[in-house]
Amino acid sequence: MATTIWWIRRDLRLGDNQALAAARAGGDRVLPVFVLDPRLLAAARDGRRRLGFLFAGLRALDADLRRCGNRLLVRRGDPARVLSGLVAESGAGAVYAEADHSPYARRRDARVAQAVPLTLAGGLTVHPLEAVRKADSSPYTVFTPYSRAWRALPFPGVPLPAPEHLPGPAGLPGEGLPSSPGHALADLFPAGEAEAHRRLEAFVRTAIDDYHDTRNRMDLAGTSVLSPYLRFGMISALQAVWAARQAGGQGAEAWLNELIWREFYVSILHHFPHVQRESFHPGLRGIVWREAPGEFADWTAGRTGYPVVDAAMRQLLATGWMHNRARMIAASFLVKDLLVDWRRGEQFFRQHLLDGDLAANHGGWQWTAGTGTDAAPYYRVFNPVLQGRKFDPQGDYVHRWVPELAGVPGEFLHEPWCMSVEQQKQFHCMIGKDYPAPIVDHALARRRALEAYRAGVGR
DNA sequence: TGAAATGTTGGGGCG
DNA sequence: ACGCCCCAACATTTC
């Protein structure tokens, strides 16, 4: 009777799990293990909310496993030591895990592979990273040709079904499942595979057809809000792509494109790990950023005086999630208007986002900062007023997150400082008292950013 | 997956 | 009737 170990990292699901499938093929008893790696726990001490979501996900996975006649074993410690100990205790012949491409994960897995027989399986992305590359086998650094090559690959097929029975070895001692100190959002983002599929189905049923037109509207529920679930593999990328393919149409194509962006950034971080520390383009490392401690604090707290930016940051603080358009607007404001190093914004986002992930977060921030692969050109500066008018036309998004502006009518909502003192009184919102005055003048800030970038590029 | 600056055009007010 | 100016409205270019 052979036992195999399924080492769970960011694939908290039973359905469409290639590592689990490989573990089942390798033995008739599967031991599901999650290792609480002190190095990751320490790094995540400021990302407590995401850690809480992960822990809630572990409890959900354990419940699912128990329905299959198994259970989740949690142990704390260095993964190589924990796993080699478990191999000895259980007599397991092999360890299977889903490949993870972040620099730390690769170092860790290389170490683990020296201690135990480790086999990595695909699944984090739809297509294996090595499958999407140029004719000369070098990686793509521009999204459009990458996505063309991605789409040209044969579809990998139907997502694997979840096992109904998953026999495990006789009980081994483990830790209790960790509780979720920071996960106060259990009702907003219930963790687990079942919830991920509920969301996917609801999105496909009600919003995917309009996605092409509504995905940028911050005031509408036009997006899938699946990112935290994809982040921890409570749903697989293939399951999402499969659903898009079944749905078909312009909206599904636009959503598929976003999923391809996700894989593009996984690939970029894999092939160019330096992007987690500095700009992709060496020529753009000379930009002189401002320290601006006070303005940075205003940005993090959502008191910049620009309603869309403040709504975005407050949504993040309140929910652990932010609409993608809002992410771009808030990021552009920090990097261009405040001229603060994108890495500080990236770190703040990653601390607070439930979906916070090295690859996607760095990709997005470097895109905004204009320093990345296939990035927005440096002179593209978002105007928060125009972005607000365009993507929150009735101001519902701002009203939801910035209650001080409740009485301010639509024409002033995205630029409340334009109200006369009379109007401020009339609408019960005194600028500088009830709601902050803008901490920078956008027109001036824009010119300052262009100058700093020109100097940094060395033109 | 921008926005501002600059250029062009054409209608209308007006001397 | 005509030229002149103003300035939307739109197009192009520049950052």
**Above pLDDT 70, what percent of chain A?**
98
- Strand B nucleotides, any atom under 7 Å to a protein CB: 1-5
Residues A265 and A132 in one domain: yes
Number of H helices, E strands in chain A: 21, 5
CA angle A287/A346/A222 to nearest 5° reads 120
Q: How far is the CA of A195 from the C1' of C2 (A)?
A: 75
Q: Does residue A289 carry a catalytic annotation?
A: yes
A261 is catalytic: yes
- Which residues span the domain enclosing A18? 3-123
In chain A, the number of structural domains is: 3
Closest nucleotide to A381 by C1' from CA: B2
Positions in chain A short of pLDDT 70 = 181-186, 458-459
CATH code for the domain in which residue A347 is found: 1.10.579.10
Domain for residue A185, yes or no? no
CA A273 – C1' B7 distance (Å)? 46
One domain for residues A147 and A92: no
Which chain A residues 368-387 have CB under 7 A to strand C?
377, 379
| CA A335/CA A366 separation, integer angstroms | 10
DSSP letter at A431 equals B
Nearest nucleotide by C1' position to the A450 CA atom: C15
The per-residue pLDDT for A181 is 65
Nucleic strand C under 7 Å from the C-beta of A455 = no
Question: Are A10 and A106 found together in one domain?
Answer: yes
Contact A435, A402 (CB under 8 A): yes
**Amino acid A289 CA to nucleotide C11 C1' distance, rounded Å:** 36
- A340 lies in a domain? yes
pLDDT at A459: 46
A104 with A22, same domain? Answer: yes
A87 and A231 belong to one structural domain = no
A116 and A152 share one domain: no
The spacing between the Cα labelled CA in A259 and the C1' in C13, in angstroms, equals 34
Mark whether A217 and A96 lie in a shared domain: no
Nucleotide nearest to A216 (CA to C1'): B1
Question: In the listed set A230, A250, A271, which residue is the last one of a domain according to the structure?
Answer: A271
Same domain? For A415 and A446 the reply is: yes
Active site residue A342: yes
Is this structure's pTM higher than 0.75? yes
Which of A150, A242, A255, A261 does the annotation list as catalytic?
A: A261
Spatial contact of A71 and A29, defined as CB atoms under 8 Å apart: no
From A196, A147, A189, A188, select the one nearest A13 (Cα to Cα): A196
Torsion angle, alpha carbons of A123, A349, A192, A129, to 10: 0
- Domain boundary residue among A271, A302, A326? A271
Residues A236 and A320 in one domain: no
Same domain, A391 and A261: no
The CATH number given to whatever domain includes residue A239 is: 1.25.40.80
Are residues A372 and A446 located together in one domain of the fold? yes
Are residues A328 and A408 located together in one domain of the fold? yes
Last residue of a domain, which of A123, A145, A179? A123
In A54-189 the beta strands, taken as DSSP E runs, fall at: 73-76, 94-98, 118-121
Give the pLDDT confidence of A104-127 residue by residue, as tens digits: 999 999 999 999 999 999 999 999
Å between CA of A400 and C1' of C8 = 36
Is residue A167 classed as helix, strand or coil in its secondary structure? coil
